[in-house]
A and B are shown apart, each in its own frame.
Chain A
Amino acid sequence: MDKRFFNFVWRHSKREQITILALTAVSFPMVYISLEIPKRIVNDAINGRDFPREVLGFELQQVPYLLVLCFAFLGMVVLINGMKWLINYSIGVTGERMLRRLRFMMFEYVMRFRISAFRRTKPGEIIQMMLGEVEPLGGFIGEVIATPAFQGGLLCVYMIFIFMQDFWLGLAAIALYPVQAILLPKMQAKVIRLNKARAHNTRVLADAIGEGITSIADIHTNDTARWHLAQISGRLYRNTTIRIDLFKRKFTIKFINNFLNQLTPFFFYSAGGYLVITGDLDFGSLVAVLAAYKDLAGPWREVLNYLQRWNDFNSRYEFVVESFMAEDMFGTDRIFGPERAPLRGDLELAGIEGGPGSGGLTAPRLTIRQGQTVAVAGGGNGARDALMRMMAGLLEPAAGRITIGGEPLTELTMPRLGATVAYVGAEPGIIARSIRDNLVYGLLRRMPDLSGQADANVAAMLREARATGNMQADPEGDWTDYEAAGVRSPEELDRRLLALVDRVGLADDMVASALDSQIDRKDAGRWTQPILAARAELAASLSAAELADIAEPWVEGRFNTNGTLLANVLFGMPEEIATGMRGYIRQPLVISALDASGARAELEAIGRDIAGEFADLVATVDENSPVLDSFAGYPKAEILAAADLVKAIHASPAQGVTDEQRETLLALALGYVQTRDRLDVVDETRISSLMDCQKRARSHLQGKPGFVCFDEPRFNPGRSIAENILNAMRRFDRKSAWKLLGERMEAAIRSAGLRDDLIRLGLGAPAGSGGSNLSATARRRLALARAMLKRPSLVVLDGVAGGRSPADVALRESIRSELPEATLVVAVEHADDADADCAIEIDDDGVAHLRQPCRPAGDAGRAAGERKRRQAT
């Protein structure tokens, strides 16, 4: 990045700047002509004589001559404004492109920082610099040459005019310019310092805000919300004081400028007037000079303004750029280097010293043969963390070298390092995309080839990227490096993903989340067949009595005590998903069916009884009592609202029940489930009345699109997949048997061949910001699968799968069998935990040594055999 603003502008926008300058130059004569024509109209066409006049060989009488001139004037106005549009547009586009280039460069620099630099880098500050601080530069860059040229040119023309009228008056007119030109930068120096202070303060503020969000858990558990608020408040106060200071200075400068600008006319009136009276100056000249001076004031103000902005933006640019300048940054090769094949060979550490913050780590000489499994134990004071990160090329030792296949790890390009090493920490980075995208994240290394693309949008995107030095790549294209995963096509990759997900134990999570999820309506048709198959398998795996003991099936005309009243009346569910019963009431299909069936009155009466129960409940306990949170069917807020509603109805019985209140009562009733809620509000009479309504609702809904009956053999996208497979209501009084049902459903899914589809569906679900939709264990397993997928030659597990538990042992075994040739380095609590070929032990002083001599490669299996023998004796 250029250190000086102008160099940056000139290097990357020479052509545009010259074009803008040329456009400005061309507009000069146009402006002149547009001033000339009105004069001609007044003096020549309206007041003139001697007609006809000859214009371009045509003889014109007075009126046609006037019209010709007027239309010429109109034409000029259009032309000049068109020209202005073009200039403004060019200034805008140039500024925006340069801004894009600058921002991209800044982020590219961030990517090229050494990892150690990130200890000092604050994300909030970087964001503030990239987005906030450079924003105003964009507007300025486009006019960096054009404005001084244009306004300066105008200024010169007017000055020459004044000097030609009278030398001394001319001198008087510009007498104060040097004063302004000298005084201004001096006064502005302080403003620039304040601007810098403000920018710095805003950076700190941005970082404090970021910190407040990332450490929210600690804020809650330490009760430091008030302290953090005070920090922000303090920063805002500082911002205000700087601003107030700035206002004072800025407006003082403005005041002085204005004063000096008005001082000159004062001289003209007094001295010039005196000279006219004494006869030393003719009146005409004075008037002309005064008029010219008035014209002069505009451009001069613009020039001064420009000078101020020039100083301001120069310092702004430098202030930002210097934050991105690091001494020993990686070159662009670090990101764009060509080598994509993994390095193979022994991992060698020689004369390592960790330096500060590494728990005194020293490793005189360690060699790990390609393909070995190495357990790293001890060094709990930070030495082990440091060593693990060093072996993954994430941390540079203060002294010594780490090489793989003879090449220093810290100097590898990212394409090389990414292909060679997989590092999985306890808190792996998860991007806010689908789980699947997170799995293939380790393969997103191949820039999609866009050369053959004929799409106009893509072409425009590429052109713009070229013009701004940005990435000439489609961010949403297929970046997958299939070769690195050892597959040839997306289909093969898909199979590989399914296998890996199963391998690391994520598949069950995926199936579970898929079972609870819903399918998009347009894909529903595809799911009917497999779902019905799974339903049949499930029914076959349980006898009718067994099934009835766990779940209550839907039978037409029979009240389902484990289903909502909504489902009971409709005997089916709409395809459109709604949140809460109120959501369903708003669906025209649902409300029309309720009306047509005549269920509404009955339901409202039931809703009233429920509300009455809730009113009694609220009267018995304290309103804020946590007891109210424990009722299974209805949340506390709904219970309180229902109690309030009863109070309101009782308070004004004459008024009757409003439509809104009726809707609330209806919603209460529709969500009621007999076995779960057990309120005595639905007796035999009501049940038979509801069943009559069901019959009428059924004939109303028959054949209506967007609705699926319970006895219709069709997938309903409005219900979860699990509900679709079961097609019955789980019994709330038999929760102890639900586990069995889950197992049977799992088996039914497998034998119906639905499992892979469900895993795929689960993989398509969003991982959430920072992987918030996944458990910590699932995040780690995902990262392990990600590591295995890209087939690195060195796997570093730092805080994952390093324990004695069967799950951890299984994970290590699957890595070993998936990547038989890779070197596997595992951080463990006890050196014996991992079935390792050798162990690196770090003592309390941070000195790392090999505890057992490493065996030559190919002998890797022996350690496991020895462990077994040891256990046997």
Chain B
Amino acid sequence: MNLNRVVEVMREMPLFRNVDPKQLRVVAMMGEVSTYRSGERLFEKGDEGDAAYIVLSGEVLVLVPSDGDEQAVATLGKGELFGELAVLCDQSRTSAIAAKSDLEVLRLDRTVVMNLMHEFPAITLELVRILGRRLERTTAELSQALAELSGVR
């Protein structure tokens, strides 16, 4: 997939809504476009978090182990970002990722992500906002779960 089309996908993403398209082009340039066939796995739970990904076309499944088997907890589609937490926090992968269909992703190496965040503070700010929102949601879900749990007791 050529740069122009990668940039088009990225411009649709909330993360990059306020980012200059010129900067998006740089992000697209420094990434690597990879294709996967349906069912192929991008990484496993516990792998080193060496890259973040943006789905360019197709869908991926987020897989977590359950009772010796695996369960898909989410499906991510075009324009969605994944793997960024492991990259930012130097963690290992918390779930496995597999291609749900034929898939194209933009793979951003850890050093590339770090360099880009350094270079373009606008991207960093958006990333912080997204992570913050996600944390807020998780906290809300957690308190709701706790409330339900105390109700059960």
Contact = CB atoms under 8 A, between A and B. Distances in A.
Interface of A: 549, 616-617, 620-622, 625-627, 629-632, 675, 678-680, 732-736
B33 A622 contact: no
Contact of B2 (A549, A621, A631, A680): A680
19 contacts: A616-B22, A620-B23, A620-B26, A621-B119, A625-B119, A627-B119, A630-B111, A630-B115, A631-B29, A631-B30, A632-B32, A679-B2, A679-B3, A680-B2, A732-B32, A733-B33, A733-B104, A734-B34, A735-B34
Contacts of B6: 678
B111 A734 contact: no
Given A626-B115, A627-B116, 6 more contacts: A617-B25, A620-B26, A629-B115, A680-B4, A733-B35, A736-B34
B16 interface: no
Nearest to A626: B115
Contacts of B111: 626, 630
Given A620-B23, A627-B26, A678 B35 contact: no
B40 interface: yes
Contacts of A732: 32
Nearest to A731: B35
A716 to B, nearest CB: 28
Contact of A736 (B20, B23, B40): B40
Contact of B3 (A620, A632, A675, A678): A678
Given A620-B26, A631-B29, A678 B115 contact: no
B131 interface: no
B109 interface: yes
Contacts of B26: 617, 620-621, 627
Interface in B42-65: 42
Contacts of A627: 26, 30, 112, 115-116, 119
Contacts of A675: 33
Contacts of A616: 22, 25
Nearest to B114: A626
Given A627-B115, A630-B112, A630-B115, A620 B34 contact: no
Interface residues of B, number: 29
A734 B105 CA distance: 11
A549 B37 CA distance: 9
A620 B23 CA distance: 7
Interface in B1-45: 1-4, 6, 20, 22-23, 25-26, 28-30, 32-37, 40, 42
A678 B33 CA distance: 9
Q: Which of B26, B40, B109, B116 has the most CB of A within 10 A?
A: B26
Contacts of B33: 675, 678, 733
Contacts of B1: 678
A732 B119 CA distance: 26
A771 B25 CA distance: 43
Contacts of B2: 678-680
Contacts of A734: 34-35
A617 B29 contact: yes
A611 to B, nearest CB: 14
Please classify the interface of chain B as helix (H, G, I), strand (E, B), loop, or mixed, using the class held by over half of its residues: helix
A632 B33 CA distance: 11
A734 B104 CA distance: 10
Contacts of A631: 29-30
B22 A620 contact: yes
A599 B91 CA distance: 50
Contacts of B3: 678-680
A625 B4 CA distance: 23
Nearest to B107: A735
B36 A736 contact: yes
A437 B42 CA distance: 43
A622 B120 CA distance: 10
B34 A622 contact: no
Given A630-B30, A632-B32, A625 B40 contact: no
Nearest to A620: B22
Contacts of B25: 616-617, 620
Interface in B102-136: 104, 109, 111-112, 115-116, 118-119
A327 to B, nearest CB: 58
A548 to B, nearest CB: 12
A93 to B, nearest CB: 63
Contacts of B29: 617, 631, 678-679
A699 B104 CA distance: 39
A617 B30 CA distance: 11
Contacts of B104: 733
Interface in B129-148: none
A61 to B, nearest CB: 102
A679 B30 CA distance: 11
Contacts of A680: 2-4
A244 to B, nearest CB: 53
A195 to B, nearest CB: 57
A692 to B, nearest CB: 23
Contacts of B36: 736
> Which of B29, B33, B36, B37 has the most C-beta atoms of chain A within 10 angstroms of its own C-beta?
B29
Nearest to A619: B22
B107 to A, nearest CB: 9
A617 B120 CA distance: 13
A675 B1 CA distance: 8
A627 B119 CA distance: 8
Contacts of A735: 32, 34
Given A617-B29, A736-B40, A625 B35 contact: no
A249 B20 CA distance: 76
Nearest to B112: A630
Given A678-B1, A736-B36, A736-B40, A622 B119 contact: yes
Contacts of B40: 736
A626 B119 CA distance: 9
Nearest to B37: A549
A734 B42 CA distance: 11
A631 B37 CA distance: 25
Contacts of B112: 627, 630
A406 B36 CA distance: 68
Contacts of A617: 25-26, 29
B34 A733 contact: yes
Contacts of A549: 37
A620 B25 CA distance: 10
Nearest to A683: B2
B2 to A, nearest CB: 5
A519 B25 CA distance: 41
A130 to B, nearest CB: 48
A680 B7 CA distance: 12
Nearest to B40: A736
A112 to B, nearest CB: 53
Nearest to A614: B29
Contacts of A621: 26, 119
Nearest to B4: A680
Contacts of B30: 627, 630-631
Nearest to B6: A678
Nearest to B28: A678
Contacts of B118: 626
Contacts of B115: 625-627, 629-630
B42 to A, nearest CB: 8
A629 B29 CA distance: 11
A69 to B, nearest CB: 92
A85 B37 CA distance: 85
B20 to A, nearest CB: 8
Contacts of A733: 33-35, 104
A549 B40 CA distance: 13
Contacts of A630: 30, 109, 111-112, 115
Contacts of A622: 119
A715 B22 CA distance: 45
A626 B117 CA distance: 11
A432 B42 CA distance: 42
A622 to B, nearest CB: 7
A620 B27 CA distance: 11
Chain B CB within 10 A, most for which of A549, A630, A631? A630
